[in-house]
Each structure stands twice: as C-alpha cells, then as structure tokens.
Amino acid sequence: MIENNSPESFQETRKYLNELVLKYADKSMKRFFSLDAQVYQDGALPSKTKELLGLVASLVLRCDDCIKYHLSQCKDAGVSDAELTETISIGLIVGGSITIPHIRSAIEFWDALK
C-alpha cells in the first residue's frame, strides 16, 4: 500500500483508539457505541447488506476510517469483488466525483485485505 497503512495496522490502531475512547466515555457514548454494533447485526436485512450500505454512506460522507472499517467487515461477510464494485458505483453516483480519491484508497485497501 502506498500510505503504509496496512489492514492489520488499521485494525490495531482502531482497536487501541476505541479502547482509549471507551476509557473516558460516559454512559451516552457507550450506548452509542453499543447501538452502532447492534444495528449491523442480522435482522430484516442480512448483516452483509448492512455493511454494504454502511460502505456507501461512508463513501458519500468521505470518511476514510469508516470506509476501511466497512471494507474489513464486508470481507469478513463474504462480499465478492463484483458486489463491492456495484456498491462503490452507487457511492460514486450518489456522492459524485469528489468521492473518487476515496474510492482509489478503498480499492487499494480492499486489494490488501485479499
């Protein structure tokens, strides 16, 4: 990877920072973190679909950390390259050309996950 930000490094950093945030978090923050985890579980929509939706939202909002997180979850959920490409296409249509730099990084990260 160009930025020397491997999937392993991203996961390690994310875990460390989440633990640090939760060390100082009040009840409201802890509830939000819990809700975030719960909403991506299987329900009327399978968790795989929810992760793809999260990826589109993250692309549109241009949150690189969120994109990497959802890409990792998508890989774990068994998302195929074709499913990922269609999902990213939706993010591009909704978010416009400003998402292209984030898409480049997302594809690089996806490739490293594999």
Residue 2 in domain: no
The encoded tokens of residue 76 equal 């774990």
Taking residues 30-49, what's their average pLDDT?
Answer: 96
Residue 92 in domain: yes
Percent with pLDDT over 70 in the chain = 96
88: CATH: 1.20.1290.10
Distant-in-sequence, close-in-space partners of 102: CB < 8 Å, separation ≥ 6: 59, 62, 64, 67
Q: How many domains does the chain have?
A: 1
pTM: 0.91
Write out the residue range of the structural domain in which residue 36 sits.
7-113
pLDDT given at position 61: 98
Among 40, 53, 61, smallest CA distance to 90 is for 53
Q: How confident is the model at residue 4 (pLDDT cuts 50, 70, 90)?
A: low
Dihedral of the alpha carbons of 78, 65, 84, 9, in degrees to the nearest 10? -50
